[in-house]
Structure 1
């Protein structure tokens, strides 16, 4: 199987069939876990499956992108009270090695019923295209992350984001550069800090580029998982999940 097929088979085993034996064949015994609330190792995840099944847990995968040994899935989890809320939107990142899933990162956020843009956190374009532009699109998003998100040269924002079309799926931000500007101005007025300090992962496939970063939101250490869609050399669509990084975790692997 390809790395993508391995990950999708593991997700089916875990979250559709709740099949511990099938999952055990797909997860490395030393599976490295970065979800702060789940102990590391394959058996910790497999042992959780009966309770997850009994809870009526449902998983829907909206997008899948891959680069090398890293696979990113964009998911909705319903009946997910065992994970912290009735419904959660998640970006999950898996690393595959020798046909097994060996490492997992995720970022979870409860969706809002009403959003600033009228878009949900998961709708919009899902088809991977422009595979020949993967490197070009990855470089564009890396530039955006450095200049705008990390604040090196925020005035260059229109070099990266389309001034004509920018579809926003962050529930608190309206469409377009104007919507983003209004949101950031509101944070500044309230004295709320929003800062990206380090980007740990960039995964690109065609028109989609995913980044996993840490920083500060308000007074809390925070993980920012962002997905960007690029078209004709500009970022035209954005999804994300934002989650506070707890001081204590169920393992010693860290969030990243």
Structure 2
């Protein structure tokens, strides 16, 4: 990661994959304290097999396992209160108690002056949870992450600009990626375009996640929305240029070379 102080909240089982997952996060400096599901849990630690095609696009074969069973009791309110931003994963709306867990996290974070971001995750996820997403966006969310397909699905239209404007009327900041067209950032009646960084696509896995991570890093470090959008596009471009969802270069050095940070 970019060096920000971060924490992750998510459920794994007390099994081999769960131990590897927790160790991997902690080895990267990420605070991970969510209680493991017990060895007797009916489900295993979640996993995903990613198949990458020659053109760089990917298909995901996912088993959610105990990931689905995030509960309000897994939310550490004191940890949420320390966060400048929390990032909610839309896929987690599929869990039976995830809505309540999100509400608890949002309340604790915002009560302490923090802000909430939400990613819509996938057009099919939007189809399943559109009403719940809209309710949360209007009441709790400060920053909405999505891509073009998710945006169109959310507002049930083929008019991309109209969907962007509708989202901007409901949330403080909209950051919508648009494939090789870069990203569109809207806030306070203004709109910025962050251009895509040309690269040969090897593996598209992680592009949206890296965009969001770099965008939030920019905001936390005092950069404006346009600069943060450019950082997001640079990060996404780097991660799709090779196999694997982690960057292979120091992004802060790339940002410096681009004149985005000193």
TM category, shorter: under 0.3
Greater helix fraction, Structure 1 or Structure 2: 2
Say which structure, 1 or 2, has more relative contact order (CA 8 Å, 6+ apart). 1
